C-alpha cells in the first residue's frame, strides 16, 4: 500500500457538507482521502488534489470530477485560479510524510535504512539533506536541530558534524548516524526521529510552506467553508491551532473595547481529534496524528 490514510472517515465527515461543492485535498499521496471525498460528492461535485511528489502521480484517479495538480500546496491559490476556481467549500491537508516515502529507502526519510542523504519531497528541487549537512554553517545547523527537532544538545550535534566533515563528506544516513554513536541505547530511537525530522523540515521548508498554505486556504474558502488539517508533531499543530483560533501565527489580534477580536474560524471541536486505539494498532504511523477543523467565519 502506497499510504494508509489517517483519520479517514473523521476527516472527510468534517470536510464534506455539500455534495455539489468544490473541495481540495492538499496532500494526495496514495489517494485515500481523495477517493473517500469523491465517494461523498454528487455528479456536480469537484475535487482538486495537490502533490509535488512525482511518485504520487502514478496513483491518479480516473474520474471526470477529479483533477490532480503536480504542485506544492504553497501554490494553492494560484493553481486553483489557473483551473478557473476562486472559491471552494472545503480544504483537507494531511501533513504527514507518506508511508511510501518512508518505505522507499533511497529517499532517505527513514532512520531504519542506509540511504543517500536526500529527504526531498520534490525530487526536482536542488536543496537536499546532503547539502544541509555538508554546507550549512555550524550556527545554522544548531538552530535547525533546536527549533525543528527540539533537541537540547543542538550545539554539540552541529559541532560534531562540522568537525567530521572537515576531513570527510557525510554522504548517507548511516554516515550521519555513526557520528552520534554515543547516544544511550534507550534514547536512540527518539533522538534519530527528532534529528531526521529537523533535517526534513529544513529541506522541504515545511513550516513556511504550511503557513503559506493556511493563509491561502482562508482566502479561497467560501464563508462557512471548512479547513481540516491533520498534523503529526507539535511544531505543525501549534501553527494550525493558533491560525484556526485567530488567523495569526504570532502576536495578538486587535481587540475591540470589550476585549473581543474578529475570529477567522469557528472550531468544530475545541480539542484535537486523535486516532483511536484500533487505528493506531492497524497503522502505527497514526500514533502522533492530531486533527483540527475550522469553519470560516462568514
- DSSP character at residue 66: E
Alpha helix stretches (DSSP H) within 247-292: 277-282
Binding-site members for S-adenosyl-L-methionine are 31-33, 51, 73, 94, 101
In angstroms, the Cα distances linking 18 to 21, 89, 90 are 5, 8, 9
Which residues does the annotation place in the binding site?
Answer: 31-33, 51, 73, 94, 101
Closest of 27, 8, 117 to residue 68, by C-alpha: 27
CB contact set of 181 (below 8 Å; sequence gap of 6+): none
Secondary structure letter of residue 90 according to DSSP: E
List alpha helices for the chain, DSSP H.
8-15, 32-40, 76-82, 99-103, 129-135, 138-149, 154-165, 173-178, 188-204, 206-220, 234-246, 277-282
Amino acid at each position: 500500500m502506497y499510504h494508509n490514510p489517517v483519520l479517514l472517515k473523521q476527516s472527510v465527515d468534517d470536510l464534506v457538507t455539500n455534495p455539489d461543492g468544490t473541495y481540495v485535498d492538499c496532500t494526495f499521496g496514495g489517494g485515500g482521502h481523495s477517493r473517500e471525498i469523491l465517494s461523498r460528492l454528487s455528479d456536480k461535485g469537484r475535487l482538486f488534489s495537490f502533490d509535488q511528489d512525482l511518485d504520487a502521480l502514478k496513483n491518479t484517479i480516473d474520474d471526470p470530477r477529479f483533477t490532480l495538480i503536480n504542485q506544492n500546496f504553497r501554490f494553492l491559490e494560484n493553481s486553483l485560479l489557473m483551473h478557473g476556481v476562486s472559491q471552494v467549500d472545503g480544504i483537507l491537508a494531511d501533513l504527514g510524510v507518506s508511508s511510501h516515502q518512508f518505505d522507499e529507502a533511497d529517499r532517505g526519510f527513514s532512520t531504519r535504512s542506509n540511504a543517500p542523504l536526500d529527504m526531498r519531497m520534490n525530487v526536482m528541487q536542488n536543496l537536499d539533506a546532503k547539502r544541509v549537512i555538508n554546507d550549512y554553517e555550524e550556527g545554522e545547523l544548531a538552530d535547525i536541530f533546536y527549533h525543528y527537532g527540539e533537541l537540547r544538545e543542538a550545539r554539540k550535534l552541529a559541532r560534531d558534524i562540522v568537525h567530521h566533515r572537515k576531513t570527510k563528506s557525510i554522504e548517507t544516513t548511516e554516515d550521519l548516524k555513526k557520528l552520534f554513536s554515543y547516544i544511550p541505547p534507550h534514547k536512540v530511537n527518539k533522538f534519530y526521529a527528532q534529528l531526521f525530522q529537523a533535517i526534513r523540515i529544513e529541506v522541504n521548508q515545511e513550516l513556511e510552506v504550511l503557513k503559506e498554505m493556511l493563509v491561502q486556504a482562508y482566502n479561497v474558502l467560501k464563508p462557512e467553508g471548512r479547513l481540516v488539517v491533520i498534523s503529526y508533531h507539535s511544531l505543525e499543530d501549534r501553527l494550525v491551532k493558533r491560525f484556526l483560533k485567530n488567523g495569526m501565527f504570532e502576536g495578538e489580534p486587535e481587540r475591540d473595547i470589550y476585549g473581543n477580536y474578529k475570529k477567522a474560524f469557528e472550531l468544530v471541536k475545541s480539542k484535537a481529534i486523535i486516532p483511536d486505539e484500533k487505528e493506531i494498532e492497524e497503522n502505527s504511523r497514526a500514533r502522533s496524528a492530531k486533527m483540527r477543523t475550522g469553519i470560516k467565519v462568514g
